[in-house]
Amino acid sequence: MTALGSWVHAHPDGIHIPDGDFWIDPSAPRDRALVTHGHADHARGGHGAVLATPETLDIMECRYGPQSGQPVRYGETLRLGGVDVRFVPAGHILGSAQIVMEKDGERVVVSGDYKRRPDPTCPPFEPVPCDVFVTEATFALPVFRHPDAADEARKLIAAARANPDRCVLAGAYALGKAQRLILELRSAGWDRPIHIHGALQRLCDLYRAHGIDLGDLRPVADAKKADLKGEIVLCPPSALNDRWSRRLPDPITAMASGWMRVRQRARQRNVELPLVISDHADWDELTATVTELDPEELWVTHGRDDALVHWRRSQQKKARALHLSGLEDEDD
C-alpha cells in the first residue's frame, strides 16, 4: 500500500501534482499554476496558465498585468489529468480559496492561508473533511490569540478622538488587511473620510468593483497637513516610519497585525498603538480546525510548523512539516 497522498509532491518552491500536471502557489514560473489567493508570496507573475477564483485573478492582473488564466468559481469541479479539483472559501482575503483535490478515493485539501473569524470582505472558511489537510502555521504558538477585531478598531477610533491635534496613522497590509480594517472602522461607527496612502488606492478600487462598500476614501496626497488632524490615515506597514509620514500632523503610529500581540515586536517597529488584527488563524483557530477536520495526516507548509506538528503528534496523530520556503509573513 502506498503512503497517503503520495501523488502530492511538496517541494520548497511549491506543491506539485504530476498526475494533474499543475503546481499550487509555485514561487517560480510554471506552465500551469493553481493559486490560492492574491498575496504576493502565493501569487507570482509569469506562469503559463493560472487557475484561480475570479477575484484572485483580478488581483493578480491588478499587480502583474494580464494573466492567461481560467477563473474557477467556488464550488466548481474541474478534472485535471486524473485529479478532481475544487476551490472552496478560505476566509483569508477577497477571493481566497482552499484547493480540494481528489484522486483514487483520497482527498487532500491545501488550505493556503485561512482564518475562522468573520471577515466582511470574503465568505467564511468552509471546513472540508479530508485524508490529508495541508495547513499554514504562521501564528502556531499558544501565545497568539487574536482578540475581537471590532474592539481593536474601537481602540483606533478612540485614539483619533482623544487626539484632535494629531492624526492616527495605521499600517495595514495593502491587500486584504487594509480593506477589512476600513470595514471594521465603518461598522464601529467611523463615518468620516478615511485617508489612504497611494499604494492602497488600486486595491481599494478593486474591492469596490467587487461590490464591497468602503465608504469615503481620500488620497492623503490631496489633503493639507492641518486638515488631517483628528483623522485616520492608512498606509502599508513599510511607509510607517518612512519620510512619507512627515506630511502628517504628529502621527500616532498604529499597526494592524497579529504580531502586535507581542509587546517587544510592536516596540521594535516603533508602534505606539498596536492593533492585533490578523487575516491568519491564531493558535485556537488552527487547533480547533485540525481537531474538527481530524485528518489522517496533517501537513504543515510554513510558519511555526515545529509547534503545530508537536501538538498534533502529542495526540498520537500523524503530522509533518513540508518546509516550503518564501511564505513568511512579517507584516500580517
Partner 1 sequence: MRAFAELLERLVYTRSRNAKLKLIGDYLRSAPDPDRGWALAALTGELSLPGVKAGVIRQMVTERVDPDLFAMSYDYVGDLAETVALIWPAPPDAVLDAKPEALSLGETVERLSRLTRLDAPAALSAMLDRLDASERYAVLKLATGGMRVGVSARLAKTAFAQAVDLPVEDVEEVWHGIDAPYPALFAWGAGDGKRPDARGLPVFRPFMLAQPLEGEADLSDYAAEWKWDGVRVQLVRAGGQTRLYSRAGDDITGSFPEVAEAFLREGVADGELLVRGAGQGADAHGGAAASFNALQQRLNRKTVTKKMLAEHPAFVRLYDLLIDGERDVRTRPWTERRARLEAFAEGLDPERFDVSRLITAKDFDDLARLREGARESAIEGVMLKRRDSEYVAGRKAGLWYKWKRDPLTADCVLMYAQRGHGKRSSFYSDYTFGAWDSEGGLLPVGKAYFGFTDEELAWLDKFVRANTVGRFGPVREVEKTLVLEVAFDSIHESTRHKSGLSMRFPRIARIRTDKPAAEADRVETLKALIV
Site residues (CB under 8 A) for partner 1? 141-145, 241-243, 245-246, 261-264, 266-267, 270-274, 304, 306-307, 310-311, 314
CA distance 256 to 238: 12
CB 211 within 8 A of CB 223: no
Q: How far is the CB of 51 from partner 1 (least distance, A)?
A: 36
- CA angle in degrees (0–180, nearest 5) for 212-217-221: 145
Measured from the CB atom, is 49 or 262 closer to partner 1?
Answer: 262
Q: How far is the CB of 283 from partner 1 (least distance, A)?
A: 9
Q: How far is the CB of 49 from partner 1 (least distance, A)?
A: 36
**Rg from Cα positions in the chain:** 20
Element (H, E) at 186: helix 177-187
Question: Cell triple for residue 196?
Answer: 489612504
Measured from the CB atom, is 102 or 305 closer to partner 1?
Answer: 305
Question: Cell triple for residue 212?
Answer: 464591497
Largest CA distance in the chain: 71
Distances (CA, A) of 94 to 39, 40, 105: 10, 14, 31
Q: How far is the CB of 294 from partner 1 (least distance, A)?
A: 19
Q: How far is the CB of 95 from partner 1 (least distance, A)?
A: 31
